[in-house]
Chains A and B, each alone.
Chain A
Amino acid sequence: MLNKFLFLFFISFTLLAESYYDFQNDEDEKRFFNLIKEIRCPKCTSGSLASSNAPVSEDLKKIIAEMIEDNKSNEDIKSYISDRFGKETLYDTPIEPKTYALWYSPFVFLLVCLMIFFFRKKA
């Protein structure tokens, strides 16, 4: 009776699963935990899969675990998710021409400031 109640209670957000987060080794498990921290929950306003228990987040976590067990690479897993839910699900912003400005501007800024700082003193 309790079991049926619990089942119904959670039916609205479980993907009835066969996969059980049964990782074969520690590296796989670490990979899982790192990935779910870097992938954004598609439904929440903000936050990673790790901090979300929304149904779609739970589904994605299971898929990620399955894909890891299938020896898929991180890139494969990220592409799988971003293809379906958008590039904005990747907190690990890709380094590509469109994002060079983001990744490199801090160092350019640092260099410029340091140059001004050191050359000004000579003046």
Chain B
Amino acid sequence: MILDIAHYLSILSTAIFMLTFTLVLILDRSVSHSTLLIKRSYSHAFLLFLISFLLYVYLALTDNFSVSYIAQHSNSLLPNFYKVTSIWSAHEGSMFLWIIFLSLWGFIFNLSTDRDLKVKNLSIGIISIIIVGFQLFLLITSNPFEVVLPFAPENGADINPVLQDPALAIHPPTLYLGYVGFVIPFAYALAFLINKDQSIEWEKKVKSWSVMAWVFLTIGISLGSWWAYYELGWGGYWFWDPVENVALMPWLAATAFLHSLSVASKSNVLRIWTLLLSIIVFSLSLFGAFIVRSGIIDSIHSFANDPQRGMYLLAFIAVILFVSLGLFASRLNMFESSKNIKALSKESFISLNNIFFGVLIFSTMMGITYPLIYELIYDQKISVGAPFYNAIYAPITILATMILVISIDSRWGRTIDTGRSFNMLYISLAMGLIGLSLIRYFAGDMSFIIMISFLMGLIIIFRYLILVVKNILEKKYINTPSVIAHTGLGLLILSISANSILSSEKVFNMKPNEVREFENIRIEFNDLELLNNSNHDSIKATFALDANGKSFYLSPEKRKYFARGQITSETAIKIMPMRDIYLTIGEQLEGGQWVVNVQLNYFIRFIWFSAAMMAFSGLLIISNIIRRKS
């Protein structure tokens, strides 16, 4: 009964979003009366859809296993929290959430006032038709409302134990909020193009929205990295897995886009690039959805293989991309050729920066698709992994950061004044070299590229430190969000390099009561317990450790889950200021010994902290904009 209502509400919502789109087409978009109608229509469509989703949550919470999806992914023994999160643990449900968020962004954007009614209404129309496309995809190929016939099972299947984790509960929603948020600048950019009025400053209007979406994306990706670190057991925080990469690409494009947004007013060339970037960012978000859901890529995240869904999504994205690119191409004449960008001005540096981002996006796309290309041509499989991505990202990042520190002293509309500004660069370089020699002293040999990365990280941080101190003393303006974000970037590069240089690991074979030592850490195998839990058995090994003058216990586990017979390894981590002590147990060997793996992961918390810094800077930008408005 409730299932049917929820289903009908979704269908109705699709119809009303379609109606909204039609209204935008046929009404006079410059009139406030039409605007009100369009607003109402959209709001109704959204609210219907939202109620449908909330009813679905209710169905999940009340263990309604007549719903096929809920039966496959939830279980009556799950805590309520996980009953809800199980909704987005697989394709149909997560698609449902995706579209909810998409329409939610549009809903909030819709409520905001805009004097340029024509453009605003057009953008709402574009958002509406995109939503319709996704809703049709959902209802036709991936229906979450399907019923189990003829009888509902007594209980649901147990969900993958790896998914019963708080981090994994918030990681998808945050990521989705990021992905779909870029529909706002996308739709508004297209509306701007259709409207052909150059004087409208669309870049200013979409800025807060774009930054917010970027913040969500940044946090979402970091959450994924953080989860992977403690869950997957190898101590790594980034694997260059295809699904990580398809989240990284929109993030890179969005970062370039945000930079372009602030520059767009300076030159028509840059305006054109900003428009193109808004299309690219959203397209990459959609591409990400396609890759994950089409079954085309083998990945931890790939949802059920279904080429039919893949085809639909591919066609849908193709239509969106060709229409938007066609529109873009046809309106290029809108901008008369503008004054050239002055060489070595701030605008030119940002343009150059876009090239670096472009190379990274291109390379990532290459890395993701090359195994498929190879298979199509040579009928053989290959893999592309960390070696390739590191080989590309490291030098490009180094180049880009060099340009970054030089550009700090660049000016809008004028060539950079190399005289005074380079002094501060030299100071930063000197301090960086000191830091580098310190770490060389402690860690010995390291690869050249990592050395330079480490150095660049230091230079960025020192350069911004000098900037802040100098500007405070000279009572000059400080662009706080920029300082925080870029210092965060410097910290990110520094932490990644330091983590690579300093981290170490070791494997021991130990029996209970044995003691080992590693890097001045004493490890004693205290206890081995066999535990029985409701959905799994586990072998829990407890170790007593002495490190940095502190004593503590770590208890890694080996678990066997009943429902799917899955065996997982639970890591035990001690977080210390500079490093994590990371312990896992492997198998039991013939003599009764256990394989024990100890890792020391340096500065890993700083990696996520730097991402948090960047996200925070985004929030600062938005709060500044809001404050300026009022």
Identify the closest chain A residue to B235 (Cβ): A50
For window 590-630 of chain B, which residues contact chain A by CB distance below 8 Å?
A: 590, 592-593, 595
The bracket for how many chain A residues form the interface is 35 or more
Cβ-defined contact, B595 with A21, below 8 A: yes
Q: Which 7 A-B pairs have the closest CB atoms?
A: A91-B385, A88-B381, A50-B234, A106-B363, A51-B234, A92-B387, A51-B232
**A119 contact set on B, CB distance < 8 A:** none
**Distance, CA A20 to CA B509, complexed state (A):** 7
Cβ-defined partner of B355 (8 Å) among A18, A93, A113: A113
Cβ-defined partner of A6 (8 Å) among B341, B392, B509, B588: B588
Give 1 or 0 for each of A35-55: 1 = CB within 8 Å of chain B CB.
001101000011110110100
Cβ-defined partner of A14 (8 Å) among B233, B348, B392, B587: B587
**Distance, CA A53 to CA B359, complexed state (A):** 36
Residues A93 and B233 in contact in the complex (CB < 8 Å), given A86-B381, A113-B358: no
Residues A93 and B382 in contact in the complex (CB < 8 Å), given A20-B593, A53-B569, A117-B352: yes
Between A and B, 29 residue pairs with Cβ closer than 8 Å are A9-B537, A10-B558, A14-B587, A14-B589, A16-B590, A17-B590, A29-B507, A33-B505, A37-B236, A40-B385, A45-B298, A46-B299, A48-B234, A51-B232, A87-B381, A90-B382, A92-B387, A93-B382, A93-B384, A98-B374, A105-B362, A106-B359, A106-B362, A106-B363, A106-B396, A109-B363, A110-B359, A113-B359, A114-B355
For residue B226, give the distance in angstroms from its CB to the closest CB of chain A. Answer: 15
For residue A111, give the distance in angstroms from its CB to the closest CB of chain B. Answer: 10
Give 1 or 0 for each of B502-522: 1 = CB within 8 Å of chain A CB.
000111010000000000000
Q: Please choose the segment from B141-149, B307-315, B364-372 that sits at the chain A interface, where 4 or more of its residues have CB less than 8 A away.
A: B364-372
For residue B395, give the distance in angstroms from its CB to the closest CB of chain A. Answer: 9
Cβ-defined partner of B367 (8 Å) among A45, A102, A117: A102
For residue A84, give the distance in angstroms from its CB to the closest CB of chain B. Answer: 14
Give 1 or 0 for each of B244-285: 1 = CB within 8 Å of chain A CB.
000000000000000000000000000000000000000000
The yes or no answer to B435 lying at the interface (CB within 8 A) is: no
Residues A53 and B355 in contact in the complex (CB < 8 Å), given A16-B590, A91-B384, A105-B366: no
**B588 contact set on A, CB distance < 8 A:** 6-7, 10, 14
**B352 contact set on A, CB distance < 8 A:** 117
**Distance, CA A5 to CA B595, complexed state (A):** 18
**Distance, CA A20 to CA B511, complexed state (A):** 12
Cβ-defined contact, A93 with B388, below 8 A: yes
For residue A7, give the distance in angstroms from its CB to the closest CB of chain B. Answer: 7
For residue A2, give the distance in angstroms from its CB to the closest CB of chain B. Answer: 7
**Distance, CA A87 to CA B385, complexed state (A):** 13
Cβ-defined contact, B300 with A9, below 8 A: no
Identify the closest chain A residue to B243 (Cβ): A46
**A114 contact set on B, CB distance < 8 A:** 355
Cβ-defined contact, B386 with A38, below 8 A: yes
**Distance, CA A17 to CA B241, complexed state (A):** 31
Give 1 or 0 for each of A90-120: 1 = CB within 8 Å of chain B CB.
1111000011011101100110011001000
Residues A102 and B232 in contact in the complex (CB < 8 Å), given A2-B530, A46-B299: no
**B589 contact set on A, CB distance < 8 A:** 14, 17, 20
For residue B517, give the distance in angstroms from its CB to the closest CB of chain A. Answer: 14
For residue A25, give the distance in angstroms from its CB to the closest CB of chain B. Answer: 12
Cβ-defined contact, A46 with B241, below 8 A: yes
**B232 contact set on A, CB distance < 8 A:** 47, 51
The yes or no answer to A13 lying at the interface (CB within 8 A) is: yes
For residue A66, give the distance in angstroms from its CB to the closest CB of chain B. Answer: 14
**A106 contact set on B, CB distance < 8 A:** 359, 362-363, 366, 392, 396
Identify the closest chain A residue to B233 (Cβ): A51
The yes or no answer to A58 lying at the interface (CB within 8 A) is: yes
**A70 contact set on B, CB distance < 8 A:** none
**B537 contact set on A, CB distance < 8 A:** 9
For residue B127, give the distance in angstroms from its CB to the closest CB of chain A. Answer: 32
For residue B564, give the distance in angstroms from its CB to the closest CB of chain A. Answer: 13
Cβ-defined contact, A38 with B587, below 8 A: no
The yes or no answer to A3 lying at the interface (CB within 8 A) is: yes
The yes or no answer to B76 lying at the interface (CB within 8 A) is: no
Cβ-defined contact, B507 with A21, below 8 A: yes
Cβ-defined contact, A89 with B340, below 8 A: no
Cβ-defined contact, B382 with A18, below 8 A: no
**Distance, CA A53 to CA B558, complexed state (A):** 10
**A21 contact set on B, CB distance < 8 A:** 507, 509, 595
For residue A56, give the distance in angstroms from its CB to the closest CB of chain B. Answer: 13
The yes or no answer to A22 lying at the interface (CB within 8 A) is: yes
Residues A9 and B388 in contact in the complex (CB < 8 Å), given A21-B509, A21-B595, A87-B382: no
- Most chain B CB inside 10 Å of its own CB: which residue of A2, A13, A93, A109: A93
For residue B432, give the distance in angstroms from its CB to the closest CB of chain A. Answer: 25
The yes or no answer to B556 lying at the interface (CB within 8 A) is: no
The yes or no answer to B383 lying at the interface (CB within 8 A) is: yes
The yes or no answer to B560 lying at the interface (CB within 8 A) is: yes
For residue A115, give the distance in angstroms from its CB to the closest CB of chain B. Answer: 11
Identify the closest chain B residue to A33 (Cβ): B505
**A117 contact set on B, CB distance < 8 A:** 351-352, 355
